[in-house]
Amino acid sequence: MKAAWPSPVEIARLRAAIVAMPEPRRSVYLLCARERLDYNAVAGRLGLTVREVERHLAEALVDLMAAADEDGEPTPSLQ
Within a domain: 24: yes
The domain of 54 spans 8-68
Within a domain: 1: no
* Predicted pLDDT at 5: 80
* Alpha helices (H) along 1-79: 8-20, 25-33, 39-46, 50-68
Within a domain: 51: yes
Domain containing residue 63: CATH number: 1.10.10.10
* Predicted pLDDT at 1: 53
In whole angstroms, what is the distance from residue 35 CA to residue 77 CA?
A: 26
* Predicted pLDDT at 68: 86
Within a domain: 79: no
Within a domain: 30: yes
Q: How many separate domains does the chain show?
A: 1
What's the average pLDDT block by block, 10 residues per block, for the chain (79 residues)?
Answer: 74 95 98 97 98 98 89 53
Within a domain: 77: no
Q: What is the CA radius of gyration of the chain?
A: 13
